[in-house]
Amino acid sequence: MPRNKTMPHNKIVIFYILLWNVCIVVCFDPFTALGGITAIASYYMKCSLTECCDTPYVALNYTGLKHDLTTKLHGQHIVIPTILRSIKSHMEDADPKKPLVFSFHGWTGIGKSFVSQIIVDNIYKKKEKSTFVHYFNSEIHFTHKNEVGIYKDILHSWIHHNVTRCERSIFIFDELDSMPEGLFDVLTPFLGHNRIVDGVNYRKAIFIFLSNTGGDLLMKAVHKQRENGKKREDIKLHELQPVLESSAYNQGGLKNSKLIGRSLIDHFVPFFPLERSHVRSCIIDELRRRGLSGVKQKIISGILDDLSWYPEDLRLYSKSGCKKISQRIGLVL
């Protein structure tokens, strides 16, 4: 792990304030002062070699979060305000009442993992390389459904150990549809309003579940708006949360879960299927990232035509969202 060669400015200020206090104490109690100097030196030596669970390693960059969501995420008008308000409220609360728990729902390629990454990038200085960010994928970590008991023990131990290290840890569970049923019941004591569990405060942590469950329901909701001559942006969060909650409770990794039964998931967040204009924006973003912003519109239209759409006769919604954009651009160019 690379070492930080310079101490951040705010830490320098804190360092000298603490050192001044120690210098005052030394006149009266040199032994206490020596212990204080040792503690200060140990703290900053540790943070210079690794990562500490405070500023600047863990701190919400709200401006960056808002910028990334509003400029890089397309077609998700409910997601943006829900994430901004929830994350800001949770991170700025020194003593939140419970952990912040999201359940993201929708088709593949429409931004669930992308939004999770944006959240991580704007909280942790080391981004996804932070030791306080924990990612689980059912196809990697929980492959055998008959070993759910073992997985529960491992997951319980992992979360307890890592929240002990840093209360502002984040846990992301991907491919929720393939998770063994009943696995997440082990999280029940962690996600409630308990002040302390086994000597650890879990209420500052963030948990995010990523699921394809409810994707078809969201497509139907958007399509119904279209048929009624209304904008998809007119759909409200409160109209969809009960539908998504019911869908999650009856299928996938949260089937019959105590997390839903006990109302421990704060927000069921809908990610709508992407239309042609949204995917076009994704293509332009990727071209810009590659330094190819001058590509002709004819080529962009060709990339769009090469994707799979639903329904096939109307070609309204991308089946893969923006997931295959990078490969298609590489093939065309």
Read off the pLDDT of residues 228-244 as tens digits, 9 standing for 90 and up: 999 999 999 999 999 99
Q: Is residue 289 within 8 Å of residue 241, measured between CB atoms? A: no
- Kindly state the average pLDDT of the residues 191-216: 92
- Kindly state the average pLDDT of the residues 72-87: 98
What spatial distance separates the first Cα and last Cα of the chain, rounded to whole Å?
37
Task: Give 7's Cβ-side CA count (13 Å radius).
Answer: 13
Bridge partner list, 261 = none
Query: Rounded to an integer, what distance in angstroms lies between the CA atom of residue 321 and that of residue 333?
Result: 20
| pTM of the predicted protein model | 0.85
Q: Rounded to the nearest 5 degrees, what angle is found at the Cα of 59, between the Cα atoms of 58 and 64?
A: 125
Mapping DSSP to helix (H, G, I), strand (E, B) and coil, where does residue 200 land?
strand
Burial (CB count <10 Å: 0-12, 13-18, 19+), residue 240: buried
What are the pLDDT digits (tens) for 124-159?
Answer: 999 999 999 999 998 899 988 889 999 999 999 999
Lowest mean pLDDT among 8-17, 232-241, 255-264, 301-310: 8-17
Query: Rounded to an integer, what distance in angstroms lies between the CA atom of residue 68 and that of residue 116?
Result: 12
Task: Please determine, for residue 31, whether its predicted confidence score (pLDDT) is greater than 80.
Answer: no
Q: What is the mean pLDDT of the chain?
A: 88
Contacts 24+ apart (CB under 8 A), 63-71: 64/121, 64/122, 65/118, 65/119, 65/122, 68/118, 68/121, 68/122, 69/115, 69/118
Taking residue 289's Cβ as centre, other Cβ atoms within 10 Å add up to 11
Task: Please determine, for residue 18, whether its predicted confidence score (pLDDT) is greater than 60.
Answer: no
DSSP 250-306: HSGGGTT-HHHHTT---EEEE-PPPBHHHHHHHHHHHHHHTT-TT--HHHHHHHHHT
The pLDDT, as a whole number, for residue 287 is: 93
Query: Rounded to an integer, what distance in angstroms lies between the CA atom of residue 108 and that of residue 101?
Result: 21
- Kindly state the average pLDDT of the residues 155-168: 96
The pLDDT, as a whole number, for residue 145 is: 83
The pLDDT, as a whole number, for residue 121 is: 98
The pLDDT, as a whole number, for residue 29 is: 54
Lowest mean pLDDT among 4-8, 171-175, 327-331: 4-8
- Tell me the pairing of strands 170-174 and 133-137: parallel
Confidence label for 292 from pLDDT (cuts 50, 70 and 90) = confident
Confidence label for 112 from pLDDT (cuts 50, 70 and 90) = very high
The pLDDT, as a whole number, for residue 308 is: 93
The pLDDT, as a whole number, for residue 46 is: 59
Query: Rounded to an integer, what distance in angstroms lies between the CA atom of residue 189 and that of residue 141?
Result: 22
Task: Please determine, for residue 8, whether its predicted confidence score (pLDDT) is greater than 80.
Answer: no
Confidence label for 315 from pLDDT (cuts 50, 70 and 90) = very high
Percent of the chain's residues with pLDDT above 70: 86
30-49 vs 9-26: helix axis angle to the nearest 10?
160
Confidence label for 117 from pLDDT (cuts 50, 70 and 90) = very high
What are the pLDDT digits (tens) for 40-65?
Answer: 445 455 575 679 999 999 999 999 99
Q: Please list, in sequence order, all residues whose beta carbon lies within 8 angstroms of the beta carbon of residue 171, skipping any fewer than 6 positions away.
A: 134, 136, 159, 205, 206, 207, 208
